[in-house]
With several copies, the nearest count.
Chain A
Amino acid sequence: GRERLLASFETVNGHFRSLFARLYGGGRAHLTLTEADDPLNSGLEIMASPPGKRLQSLSLLSGGEQALTAIALLFAVFLTNPAPICILDEVDAPLDDSNVDRFCTLVEDIAEETGTRFLIVTHHRLTMARMDRLYGVTMAERGVSQLVSVDLRAAEAMRETA
């Protein structure tokens, strides 16, 4: 139990460092166990230094920086045992356009490396534009959902009507 957790910690930490740099276009980050000699009861601390900024605990970063760092952690764990499917519900909500761009690039790369199929719910125009295909969900009849294939222009219009 203890050995396995320490081993997976090292693997996840390795993925996390490289994913952080890919999502931020630079910078450094790492994970630490608050109680390295009692990993099964330890806490998981996240130390991150976005490009050009000092190393800080996660709590001192901005809202978008915290979200991007948490995304890196999630994918770091995911990559230790990639699944055939990955489902993301509005994870790009707090990200600005340049972070969304790098997020989409990462997701494209993972899809290519692992063959994972992604289902991504988003309100972001940039994310929509990077998808291979789009489904729109509508409630033309109130309270009743309908699913429909859409192209990018229809999807952009769909963000607005409610």
Chain B
Amino acid sequence: VQFTRVRLTGFKSFVDPTELDIAPGLTGVVGPNGCGKSNILEAIRWCMGEGSARQLRGGGMDDVIFSGTSDRPARNIAEVSIELDNHQKDAPTAVNEFDQITVTRRIERDSGSNYKVNNQDARARDVQLLFADLQTGARSTGIVSQGKIAAIVAAKTVERRTILEEAA
């Protein structure tokens, strides 16, 4: 299974529909402070089923919805989709029939998130397990948020051991 694309609308500073293609090899993301680079990465973690708003720098999960500027009103809906290519047919059994798997998470202000996998309603747990079966996920070792390196360096030895448990 390969990641091929991320789409986001109304997610933090990405109020307008945005598409990020994920091609083979190394894709760089650049730009000045505060322009939205970490927001894109948080959109991916959020769509993978991140359940804690604090992990996304928010107080509540509604904080991921575009909150408005002086020229634009706040939105009430945020939606992120991750597109996976499954032509290798090595996806988890439940979804292996499909050539492409699209995971979508959508949140409506004051009314919580819902998930879809290929347009079928799904629970957060299903989505988390799907990505775990792909050796990834919002809390996995391969998703290194800004400040995570410093946290590993500063961690007490017992906290640091928990990194190993992902490998076990």
Contact bitstring B65-81, A, C-beta under 8 A = 1, else 0? 00111111000000000
Residue among B68, B146, B166 with the highest chain A CB neighbour number at 10 A = B146
Which residues of A, 1-44, contact B by the 8 Å Cβ criterion? 4-5, 7-9, 11-12, 33-34, 39, 41-44
- Give a binary string over B1-44; 1 marks a CB under 8 Å from any A CB, 0 the rest: 11100000000111110111011111111111111111111001
Residues of chain A within 8 A of B71, CB atoms compared:
141-142
Q: How large is the interface on A (under 10, 10 to 19, 20 to 34, 35 or more residues)?
A: 35 or more
Known: A118-B25, A135-B28. A82 touches B135 (CB 8 A): yes
Inter-chain contact B163/A77, CB cutoff 8 Å:
yes
Number of CB contacts from chain A to chain B under 8 A: 257
B115-149 at interface with A (beta carbon < 8 Å): 134-136, 140-149
- Total contacting residues, chain B, CB less than 8 A: 69
B109 at the binding interface (Cβ < 8 Å): no
Verify if B108 is at the interface (C-beta below 8 Å from A).
Answer: no
Q: Is the CB of B32 within 8 A of A96?
A: yes
B74 to chain A: closest residue by CB: A54
Which B-chain residue is minimally distant from A67 (CB atoms)? B149
CA distance A4 to B165 in the complex (A): 9
- B81 to chain A minimum Cβ distance, whole angstroms, is 15
A137 lies within 8 A of B166 (CB)? no
The 7 closest A-B pairs by CB, nearest first: A43-B157, A64-B33, A145-B36, A131-B28, A162-B32, A143-B69, A137-B31
Which residues from chain B sit less than 8 Å from chain A, CB to CB? 1-3, 12-16, 18-20, 22-41, 44, 57-59, 63, 67-72, 134-136, 140-150, 152-153, 156-158, 160-161, 163-168
12 A-B contacts (beta carbon < 8 Å): A45-B157, A52-B69, A81-B167, A84-B2, A86-B142, A87-B44, A96-B33, A108-B26, A122-B28, A137-B29, A150-B30, A155-B28
